[in-house]
């Protein structure tokens, strides 16, 4: 099994969701089983309890970002970063979710922009307990 980091076309977090726009190089560190699509959507391989976390960095002062973790198109949890005196600040959160096979989980930027911020941001998910 190859665990080597790979450079691929990277999606950016946009108000419409992950499928609406793409950018340059995104580093995929681990994707065992290929359950993360190239658009950064996690597709559950089986029913179970999954852990998700994200850390999204805003890179401009005087802006606020809001990021939602979406499950099948509906927001589950949110995170905000909005300190007007800080150039780089993290919007971060994590959750355990019950997923059925083929449920889709992804991040959606509800407010703000991440021009350049993608390179400092992470999104991860994994199976904790199969059902």
Per residue in 35-81, pLDDT (tens digit) is: 888 778 999 999 999 999 998 888 776 778 899 999 999 999 999 98
Range of the domain at 51: 6-130
More confident residue, 96 or 107: 96
Average pLDDT of every residue of the chain: 78
Domain count, the chain: 1
Partnered with residue 67 across adjacent β-strands are 79, 109
Per-residue confidence (pLDDT) for residue 23, from 0 to 100: 39
Whether the pLDDT of residue 102 is over 80: the answer is: yes
110-to-6, 70, 116 alpha-carbon distances in Å: 28, 11, 17
Does residue 1 form part of some domain? no
- What does the pLDDT average to over 23-33? 65
- The pTM score is 0.78
Which CATH number goes with the domain that contains 118? 2.60.120.40
Per-residue confidence (pLDDT) for residue 111, from 0 to 100: 84
- 109 touches 13 (CB < 8 A): yes
In the sheet where 104-111 sits, what is the strand order?
42-43, 104-111, 65-71, 74-81
Does residue 68 form part of some domain? yes
Does residue 126 form part of some domain? yes
Does residue 48 form part of some domain? yes
């Amino acid at each position: 099994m190859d665990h080597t980091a790979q450079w691929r076309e990277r999606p950016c977090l946009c108000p419409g969701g992950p499928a609406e726009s793409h950018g340059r190089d995104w580093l995929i560190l681990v994707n065992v089983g290929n359950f993360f699509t190239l658009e950064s959507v996690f597709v559950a391989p089986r029913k179970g309890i999954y852990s998700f976390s994200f850390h999204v960095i805003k890179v401009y002062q005087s802006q606020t970002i809001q990021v939602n973790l979406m499950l099948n198109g509906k927001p589950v949890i949110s995170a905000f970063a909005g300190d007007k005196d800080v150039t780089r600040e993290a919007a971060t959160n994590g959750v355990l979710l019950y997923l059925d096979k083929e449920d889709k989980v992804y991040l959606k930027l509800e407010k703000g922009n991440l021009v350049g911020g993608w390179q400092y941001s992470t999104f991860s998910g994994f199976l904790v307990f199969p059902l």
